[in-house]
Structure formats: C-alpha cells, structure tokens
Structure 1
C-alpha cells in the first residue's frame, strides 16, 4: 500500500509539474510523458487513459526505486538516486521522438526538474519510513 500511494502521489506530482511547465513555457513535456500512441493497439486512447497508464508505470517505478533503495551510507543513496535521474533524463530523447514532440533545451530542463521532483518525493518517503 505504501508503494501504491507514494507512486500515485509522485506520478501525479510529476504530471502536474510538467503540465504547468508546458503552460508557462509552451513546451510539450506532458504529452511526452503520457503519450502511448506509438504502441500498437493504443493509437487512439483518450488522454485520461494515457494518464492512468502513466500512473501505473509510476507505481511500478516507485516499487523498484523504493525496494532497491540502499539501506547503508548516505553517499550510496545519493549515487543510487543520481542513477535513476540519469535514466529519467535519457528517457526524454526516445520518448520525444516516439511521441513526435519537438525537443528543446527548455523542455529538457522541465523534464529533468519534474523527474527530480518525482525522485525527491519518493526518496523523502523512503527516508521517513526507514
């Protein structure tokens, strides 16, 4: 239940942050986050269904991030979270291409900040419950 709740909250926080960034800076990071139209059979899903898919993926990511979170030294935890951030950062490029969204440095920075927020939300919850 802990992972489910935190995965949903962090996923909603990420989605809201990216949607806000899109509104403020005229980027397309939120569509990159939820777009699944490149998956066969999912071409014409409503946006709400795409968001629900994103939240399911968020719960799965939260499970793995939290389950394998280092229990030892703080330095190891920071390095672990940086690896997750690197993965999230790299994911922007293929997902932008697949969703046919224009790439820009502003969109990339919003994507990174959003995923930093997502990672921090999960890391804080892990820290509180250990």
Structure 2
C-alpha cells in the first residue's frame, strides 16, 4: 500500500488533510502530523510515530512537508529512516493543496515517477497571479 503523509509547522498538515477529506472523502491512506506551537521535536516525533503505526515495512510513503529543511520534514525523514521506510519513500517540500490533491487522486494508480512529476507540475501551475480587468481600465483604452 502507498500512504500520503503530511507534516508541517503549526496546523497546516491537519488543515490540508481536512480539506482533502472534504473534497475526496475520508481516506485511510492519508496521514498527518504537525509540530504545533510550544511543542518540542521529541513530542512531534512521538506523535508522528503513533500516526505511522499503520504503515507496514513493505508499504510506500509519499511524504509532503511544508518547508524543505524544516524540523517537521527533517524529523519525519529520520523517523522513516529509523523504520527502514526511507528507501521506499518519496519526500517533497513546499506542500500546497493542489500538490496534495494530485497525490491523493493518483496515490494508488500512478507509478512513482509519474506521480512525482504530476505533483511538481501541479505545484508549479497552481501558484499564479490572477489579473482581473475592471471597467475603469477598459474605458481608459
């Protein structure tokens, strides 16, 4: 089985997880843990280890973190390494909702290389400026 694991500072991971539930329904393959305000790294690691108890040794993990090099993502990688799961994990930083949605929609159907590329493409195209022309701008022409 393949799991999507969301980690972040604050409650971003749980927020993204909540939105994914709203959009695609409850999915047992989506897991999340956050390093909340006032929580130390050991507490976060303990929380994450509890969340990952359902992941078997031969499962794959797609790990999405909010910040590359941030404590939640770094600690999550260490936890995966300690369980021998890092060798069959894909790790990405810069998590956003379009990226996570793409992961969920293709989690069990796409091969890993295609899934990674789709997520990166969606993350890039999902962030853009929206320019709205007003009536005032049209009259000036």
TM-score by length of 2: 0.25
TM-score by length of 1: 0.27
More helix by share: 1
Q: Which has the higher contact order (CA 8 A, sep 6+)?
A: 1
